[in-house]
Amino acid sequence: MSHLHKNIANETGDFTAKLKPVAPDGAVVIENERKRSIINVKQLSEHLLTSQYLERQRRVLDILRQEKIFSKATQANLSRPDRYKLGLARGKRMRQLQDLHGWNDDDFLMAEYLVDDIQPYHLHISLFTAAVREQANDEQRASWMPKIAAWEIIGAYAQTELGHGSNVRGIETEARWDQSSKEFVLHSPTITASKWWNGTLGRTANYAVVIAQLMLPEDGTYKSYGPHPFIVQIRDMKTHRPPDSIVVGDIGPKYGYAAMDNAYCLFNQHRIPFSAMLSRFSSIDPETGIYTKPKSPSSVYGQLTRGRSVIVMHARLILARAVTVAVRYLSVRRQFRDQDDPTQPLETPVLDYTTVQIRILPLLATTFALHYAGSHMKQLYERTRKNDTTLDTVDHAALSELHVTSAGLKSLATTLAADSIETCRRSMGGHGFGGGTGLVQLNADYLSKPTVEGDNWMITQQVARYLIKKVKECIQSPESHAFSETEEHVKAYLSARLQKPRIDILRSDQAIVHAFNWRMAHLAYKAYDARELQKKSWNSLLIELHKLSTAYSQAMLVSNFYTAVVRQQGSLPFDTLTKSVLVDLFRLFVFNIMNSEAREFQNSGAVSSEDLDEIPNKVLELMASIRPHAVRLVDAWSIPDYLLDSALGRYDGRVYEDLFHRAHVVNPLNKLTFNPRYKEDEIVLGSGDAQHILAKL
């Protein structure tokens, strides 16, 4: 028997062992839910995830389930130091399993995803490896990459500082070139210069790529040539301690990522050799100290787009997880009888209430919207990487545009996913606050995403700047050919905006896409007008620019969703019913946005107020159509119970048995008996000990 087999038998021997939940129990209810729909879950699952992905998920999961170290049952009870130790042990074991089973990178990533607890080695295998590979010259690569691949050294990536995040040019750490010794002197002039947040560096790494201002002597002083990367040994290979000229440690508990050792790190006139500067793009001549400027980096066309498609595809799975838990639990949970028909024998399943549906079902639709947009980005990127000769000018224009505008999609997708975890949690009432949701750690960890890799409010500026430029170009050259779809939409808007065409959103899915593009172009034109003609300050426009980026990204989601489930419906391998459910999800997704942003659509001039007033009823109808398929739709996302780690979201619906098992069998606090008498300082009854807990403060 595997260690992680989800045994919820009650073997306590007390009277509770014989009790069952009140009928109908969750297992019966969830089975009935699955009988209400004929959606082919396997087919839809392969459509969303590919059979290759599903095979990998099963194969890696089977291996992980054999190992007690990957059990999640009690980890929420551990202290922060123990969470780090557990993470380190898990990271070691994962790498051992990689050696043992010959896992490739995708297998290893799958294992990390399933274990779902960031491991202290994570920055070694991600940013550190990438930084050396991309920024080292050939000789440096040859020297470092084998050691990195074999985990002979463990590295981190040290860029951000206590006082400096998004603005990399503002970092304070200095690397001064000493011509006489042919060394660099790394130095942290202030507390705010301390490296900060750098994962893996706090307790784990012995090396790091450190970003520092390259300072070269000039006229008796030092001049900065901007931030450059240096590979630096941080700790002794035997004692694992830093030299006196380096202070390094873990920054302490955070919102999430308990297992990760995010670092602070300072240097005091710390000397590193000439060879430490990673010199693929710029370099120093060790003999003369003369600096060679960065060559323009080899084409990274598409790289950023790929990274952002990964974020979007990840966001859809996070969202799918939260929605899976909510849909399953809210189907099982019943509360109150129907007010208009109090003779019903059973209380109403909570998912039947429209106030619950409106919070959950649009999020279910959003998992599909993110999926089709992320897939589209990924496919475009993969075609360029393979030098696909069928790529035409339009594809290249699209990719070049995505390079800029994917910032907006990163912002929107991670905000949606982060907010949705909490929306799902709150929809589940009391048990939503319990540890059985499987969402406690997910939420704490994922809340970093709206900030990292570009703050979600900051990076939307580049989308807006790009769109303002496009409007300007289209106005200046009205006759020019539109290469990208965005240009087409802007041109269409500019030529028709005074007529204010009425777009018939209620009768045509194509019209819906049109309305989203029209609204985007309208906001882009308004932003152009405010900035370029009225010359308003950038800061005074930021709020509107953020909205513009959101409108643009929503139009991207809508357009990709439409293409996949309406325009190219013929190519979908599904039966008619499944296809119509997908179209309902598309419509629910779009109408729900239109409803929230109704006035923007109305003010754009193309959607009538009467049509907008109809939307709430449309939304109710669509939710009623989708409701019977909800459980099968979340099943299609194929989130394994091991990953969910959720009593409420279990595949088999045995919600109450699992909640009770976690409390009565698993919870370690119940192994202790306490002394409640306040005049006695003793805590654990009979221990006589009043000092134990005080000593931990």
- Tokens for 378, please give them: 């990924």
Q: Site for a second copy (CB under 8 A): which residue of 224, 245, 275, 375?
A: 245
Give min distance, CB of 487 to a second copy, in A: 25
Q: Which of 268, 292, 344, 480 binds a second copy (CB under 8 A)?
A: 268
Catalytic annotation, residues: 453
The mark string for 212-241 relative to a second copy (x by CB under 8 A, - otherwise) is ---------------------------xxx
Could you give the CA distance from residue 134 to residue 498 in angstroms, rounded to a whole number? 51
Total residues contacting a second copy (rule CB under 8 A)? 154
User: Which residues 614-653 are close enough to bind a second copy by CB under 8 A?
Assistant: 616, 620
Please tell me whether residue 252 binds a second copy under the rule CB under 8 A.
yes
CB of 390 or CB of 669, closer to a second copy:
669
CB of 529 to a second copy, least distance (A): 14
**CB 351: neighbour CB atoms within 10 A?**
24
100: contact with a second copy by CB under 8 A: no
92 contacts a second copy (rule: CB under 8 A): yes
Residue 530 CA to residue 331 CA, distance in Å, equals: 49
- How far is CA 320 from each of CA 174, 327, 581, rounded to the nearest angstrom? 45, 10, 17
Q: Least CB distance from residue 223 to a second copy, whole Å?
A: 18
Any known ligand binding at 163?
A: no
In whole angstroms, the minimum distance from the beta carbon of 597 to a second copy comes to 9
Would you count residue 91 as binding a second copy (CB under 8 A)? Answer: yes
Do the Cβ atoms of 648 and 428 come closer than 8 Å? yes
Strands 207-218 and 155-158: parallel
| Pattern 172-211, a second copy, x by CB under 8 A | x---------------xxxxxxx-xx----xxxxx-----
**Binding residue for a second copy, selected from 21, 349, 628, 640, defined by CB under 8 A:** 21
Shortest distance (Å) from residue 48 CB to a second copy? 29
d(CA 183, CA 175): 9
Q: Count the neighbouring beta carbons within 10 Å of the beta carbon of residue 552.
A: 27
Nearer to a second copy, 311 or 474 (CB): 311
- 484: amino acid identity, one letter: S
Of 355, 387, 390, 476, the one binding a second copy (CB under 8 A) is: 355
Q: Please tell me whether residue 82 binds a second copy under the rule CB under 8 A.
A: yes
Q: Which residues of 458-472 are buried (b: 16+ CB within 10 A; e: fewer)?
A: bbbbbbbbbbbebbe
Residues of this chain, 359-398, that bind a second copy according to CB under 8 A:
359
Tell me the CA distances in angstroms from 497 to 45, 50, 469, one per residue in order. Answer: 43, 43, 19
- Selected binder of a second copy within 85, 271, 306, 383 (CB under 8 A): 85
Contact region with a second copy (CB under 8 A), list: 217-225, 493-501, 542-550, 625-633? 542-550
Interaction between residue 669 and a second copy (CB under 8 A): yes
The amino acid sitting at 400 is S
Q: Which of residues 105-124 bind a second copy (CB under 8 A)?
A: 120-121
Neighbours of 30 (CB within 10 A): 23
| Side chain identity at residue 491, one-letter code | K
Query: Binding of a second copy at residue 683 (CB under 8 A)?
Result: yes
Scanning 90-98, 102-110, 315-323, 376-384 for contacts with a second copy by CB under 8 A, the matching segment is: 90-98
333, two tokens: 């949970």
Could you say which of 1, 11, 15, 180 contacts a second copy (CB under 8 A)?
Answer: 15
Q: Per rule CB under 8 A, is residue 506 in the interface with a second copy?
A: no
Q: Which is nearer to a second copy, 81 or 217 (CB)?
A: 81
Q: How far apart are CA 296 and CA 299, in angstroms?
A: 9
55 lies in the binding site for a second copy (CB under 8 A): no
**Which tokens in the block code for residue 498?**
């005074």
Q: In angstroms, what CA-CA distances link 29 with 25, 33, 625?
A: 6, 6, 19
CB-based burial of residue 643 (10 Å sphere; 0-12 exposed, 13-18 middle, 19+ buried)? Answer: buried
Among 49, 63, 84, 548, binds a second copy (CB under 8 A): 84
Binding mask 555-594 for a second copy (x = CB under 8 A): ----------------------------------------
Q: Is 126 in the site for a second copy (CB under 8 A)?
A: no
3-state secondary structure of 637: coil
Q: Two tokens at 512?
A: 């819906």
Nearer to a second copy, 593 or 612 (CB): 612
When asked if residue 1 is in the footprint of a second copy (CB under 8 A), the reply is no
Three-state secondary structure string covering 339-405: CCCCCCCCCCEHHHCHHHHHHHHHHHHHHHHHHHHHHHHHHHHHHHHCCCCCCCHHHHHHHHHHHHH
The answer to whether residue 524 forms part of the interface with a second copy (CB under 8 A) is: no
What does the block give as tokens for 445? Answer: 């960890």
Q: Which of residues 397-456 bind a second copy (CB under 8 A)?
A: 422, 425-426, 429-430, 432-436, 440, 447-448, 450-452, 455-456
- Is 50 a known ligand-binding residue? no
Here's the x/- map for a second copy, 456-485, by CB under 8 A: it reads as: xxx---------------------------
Q: Is the peptide bond before 24 cis (omega within 30 degrees of 0)?
A: yes
* Residue 530 identity: A
DSSP state at residue 161 = B
Residue the block writes with tokens 């551990």: 78
Annotated binding site: 160, 199
Annotated binding site for FAD: 160, 199
